[in-house]
Structure 1
């Protein structure tokens, strides 16, 4: 009791609250979870939403790597500045976290929160790796004819800036086995974390877009989620979803994208960007185009030649280093200033080797109502 009183007084009187908050906000989550036991004042401070937000903005960006293992399971590793390129990166055992799914899709992160989806088991959960919390999501069952086969799923994940509520967008495309073609309806489901409920949209096929690539070819910024898509005329556009009003919008993409190039959506210099490159050339030149104003694209830089590029993924470390997946199945960091590359020590198939940048978060997934409901739009 004496120790608790001393630490409490130190937090209240010995140092200003602002200084204490600033110091604690720079510490890793692992330390903060221990420091909650120091005294009641520290516990209450670390639990406040303002501190959680401040801490998330202060801590360093890390990398989460998902790749396929030989035993038909996906491994998830965490890379920091200290273990980049290490032969023994830090792995997260999902079973030890109580997550009984083998995620083939990882969506996010948003404020350090991921959504994991296991298509084979048709199961989904939200996961905070920093504090080892997860929250199962009950999935809706759709009444579909027996001749409709398993869907192709594409996802989006973000925050409604008006309510600070987390939302998940699930685009589901089905196949009509009788017609041997796409099913007439594309289903869009929106999950609301606050109400723990799904909202259902059904979009006629002639009004929908085909999402080209569910593995990384999408991004989120400021309450809007973006996908690079093709329409039925094989033209590129950007499909966006506003998480506040829950409406879809089309944005014009680069007219400079010929069919010989490939475009990947990313974030660059606080803007939506498209990374362009020639996938069939030995020496690949990569271009970065950013949308500083809606519908207007400006070339930011050209890099190259860069050898052994399969696909660029996105930027890490204040847009100075580009993540690249190589033809030989490696994952490398390419510094756009020094032109040096760094092997991350991961190998895998193209569709099973994914990298996500994230920051640790104290956001708890155990809050909120556990009831489940279905709302028809």
Structure 2
């Protein structure tokens, strides 16, 4: 067994370092050359997985207000926010009126994919490193219905996925090229998406079903990156003739979960899939009244389980964040520091693990790539995709 200069087995040092937070690891790079080399080793970075954290990005209305990045403390029902920094202090172009708010496209392996209108960045909240990696102009067709970000282990590449009503765009961060994928003719994208275990899930609506078959219109699909196909995901069974619909996707105790709203009695049932991918493993967690959880009229609702048996809910439109007590089924006070005024300009969240992964591998460099534009016709509307042209952003620090 290899030992260090201090006589301590290298495997023991590696094991200890793998259990430290990122903040400590970055400081320990200065201890000695051996530790610095170990921490910066690609195998060590790939093996490292820190604490899971909930990151919130919010913006007050008005272009002069900064974009706030906050760390949500998972140990409290009424969560405390720690300001991690403000993008506008480091990315001066974000003060431009054309880039009013942030949007989380997805997160994977501790990296968060962010968009500011056409500019797409890869950001590591743990190391504060951020690089521009893609560019996409969708102003002519409005905002996406949903988005995701996943890692393809067969190629060692990350991929971004953007849902439009009838079209899906997928881009490789290495190749910087967007590809068009079509949904089955009878399906269109719904309101809810969830990135879970590196798999992108989303709600789809079957247009062939009439309103009398309301509950069968809503399906769950997932994206298979190898075949680049959309495949059905086993949904919980619903009673025939009952007007039910999916009202949210989320994660409870590391289980894929959804909420089903019953229009007949205005209740919401929360279900979790205890064995991922097994239809028979859906379990009802609890049922609450619509007055306690009025999420049916919100768009793109996501929920996460917290310690002390709490669920934190984030609604994209209108911007809303609150905590639900799983024992009492009561809504708690919204998070400290997050009010209607501070999020009216936009609110997004992502559940991300601490990571040493670097976004600079996928950096977007003007000098190495030529500008190209591709025109796609969407039902008579022009959608312009721009790739391999832009700027690179360095580290973000407190």
- Asked whether the two chains share a fold, i.e. TM above 0.5, the reply is yes
- By relative contact order (CA 8 Å, sep 6+), the higher-ranking structure is 2
8 A Cα contact 2:244 2:260, kept in partner: no
Pairing 1:358–2:371 present: no
Among candidates 43, 51, 67, match of residue 50 of structure 1: 43
Q: How far apart are the structure 2 equivalents of 1:272 and 1:253?
A: 11
User: Shift in Å at residue 94 of structure 1?
Assistant: 0.9
Pairing 1:158–2:140 present: no
Q: How far apart are the structure 1 equivalents of 2:318 and 2:185?
A: 39
Among candidates 67, 71, 75, match of residue 62 of structure 2: 71
8 A Cα contact 1:161 1:222, kept in partner: no
Distance 1:44-1:232 versus aligned 2 partners, 3 A rule? same
Normalised by the size of structure 1, how large is the TM-score?
Answer: 0.75
8 A Cα contact 1:127 1:135, kept in partner: yes
Pairing 1:211–2:189 present: yes
Among candidates 201, 208, 223, match of residue 180 of structure 2: 201
Normalised by the size of structure 2, how large is the TM-score?
Answer: 0.71
SS at match of 1:266: strand
User: Shift in Å at residue 69 of structure 1?
Assistant: 0.8
8 A Cα contact 1:105 1:116, kept in partner: yes
User: Shift in Å at residue 317 of structure 1?
Assistant: 3.8
User: Shift in Å at residue 246 of structure 1?
Assistant: 2.2
Among candidates 105, 120, 139, match of residue 103 of structure 2: 105
- Report which of the two has the higher share of strand: 1
8 A Cα contact 1:161 1:223, kept in partner: no
User: Shift in Å at residue 138 of structure 1?
Assistant: 3.5
Query: 2:286 corresponds to which residue?
Result: 303
Query: 1:6 corresponds to which residue?
Result: none
Pairing 1:136–2:132 present: yes
User: Shift in Å at residue 219 of structure 1?
Assistant: 1.8
Pairing 1:115–2:113 present: yes
Deviations 1:165-198 (A, max 9, x none): 211112334xxxxxxxxxxxx44332212x2321
Query: 2:384 corresponds to which residue?
Result: none
Distance 1:189-1:28 versus aligned 2 partners, 3 A rule? same
8 A Cα contact 2:205 2:218, kept in partner: yes
Of stretches 321-330 and 43-52 in structure 1, the one that deviates more from structure 2 is 321-330
User: Shift in Å at residue 362 of structure 1?
Assistant: 0.9
Deviations 1:235-287 (A, max 9, x none): 111222112332222335334285454432233455433222458978x5432
Trace 1:1-377 onto structure 2 (pairs within 5 A).
11-56=4-49, 59-72=50-63, 74-81=67-74, 85=78, 89-98=82-91, 100-101=93-94, 102-119=100-117, 122-139=118-135, 149-153=140-144, 154-173=146-165, 186-193=166-173, 195-201=174-180, 203=182, 207=185, 209-213=187-191, 217-233=192-208, 235-256=217-238, 258-268=242-252, 270-278=254-262, 284-290=267-273, 292=275, 294=277, 296-305=279-288, 308-311=292-295, 313-317=302-306, 320-324=309-313, 331-336=321-326, 342-343=332-333, 344-345=335-336, 346-348=338-340, 352-368=346-362, 370=364, 371=368
8 A Cα contact 2:113 2:123, kept in partner: yes
Question: How many residues of Structure 1 are paired with residues of Structure 2 in the alignment?
Answer: 341
SS at match of 1:42: helix
8 A Cα contact 1:196 1:372, kept in partner: no
User: Shift in Å at residue 110 of structure 1?
Assistant: 0.8
SS at match of 1:44: helix
Which ranges in structure 1 are unaligned for 5 or more consecutive residues? 1-8, 143-147, 174-185
Quote the RMSD (CA, aligned, Å). 3.8
